Amino acid sequence: MIWCNEVKDFSDTADLVGHSHAHLVTNTIGIAYQKSLFKMLEYIQEVMLDTSVDSVEFGDGWDYGRMEDRLKLVSLFCKMLLDCDMAEVKKYVSSYGRDSYVQWFGSQKLISREILESVKVDVENICGM
């Protein structure tokens, strides 16, 4: 979903770090994710279920067939995404500055916040709010 003008293999972290001046570009599929897919409750649930999360984070004994449990798990998962997103943005801004962040990412709004705002509408519809 992301292309880089300097690095061909993103699994080689040392190569990626060594090219901190590189330009990253979102491809067509990445733009589709950015505009819609990753903001859908169904997609978030599927990613959550496919993500290996330690039971220390989420606890045990969840009934995935119960809507209440699934919504609680999505809430916990989104909180985890928000925490990770905030830590990464703080790290970036401390290294490169706020203006650089806005220049490269186009917004001051956290991606995880956009996800939460979109999912909120779906959850309210499910709960009849």
pTM over 0.75: no
In sequence order, which ranges of 1-129 are alpha helices (DSSP H)? 13-17, 28-35, 41-50, 55-58, 67-96, 98-105, 111-127
Domain assignment of residue 121, given as a range: 53-127
Is 81 inside any structural domain?
yes
Q: So what's the pLDDT on residue 19?
A: 60
Q: Structurally, how many domains does the chain consist of?
A: 1
Is 27 inside any structural domain?
no
Q: Which two tokens stand for residue 66?
A: 């119960």
> Residue 89: left if φ>0, alpha if ψ -120 to 50, beta else—which one?
alpha
Is 7 inside any structural domain?
no
Is 120 inside any structural domain?
yes
Q: Which two tokens stand for residue 125?
A: 């519809």
Q: Which two tokens stand for residue 88?
A: 């990464």
Cα distance between residue 47 and residue 106, in whole Å = 25
Could you list the mean pLDDT of each consecutive 10-residue stretch along the chain, which spans 129 residues?
62 62 72 74 79 75 82 82 86 87 76 78 71
Q: So what's the pLDDT on residue 58?
A: 81
Nearest to 114 by CA among 87, 89, 82: 82
Is 20 inside any structural domain?
no
Q: So what's the pLDDT on residue 42?
A: 80
Q: Which two tokens stand for residue 21?
A: 């001046």
Is 80 inside any structural domain?
yes
Q: How many Cβ atoms sit within 10 Å of the Cβ of residue 110?
A: 16
Is 38 inside any structural domain?
no
Is 45 inside any structural domain?
no
